[in-house]
Amino acid sequence: MELKLEAVRLVNEEHMSIREVAKHLDIQNKSQVQVWAAKTKQGISLEPAASKRGRLRTKFSSMEEEMAYLRAEIEYLKKQYPNLHKE
What confidence score (pLDDT) does residue 24 get? 93
d(CA 37, CA 18): 9
**Against a cut of 0.75, is the pTM above it?**
no
Amino acid 34: pLDDT: 92
The one-digit pLDDT tens for each residue of the chain (87 residues) are 889 899 999 999 999 999 999 999 999 988 999 999 998 888 888 887 666 666 666 788 888 988 998 899 888 888 888 787 665
Helix (H, G, I), strand (E, B) or coil at 39: helix
Among candidate residues 2, 3, 1, 32, the one with its CA nearest the CA of residue 19: 32
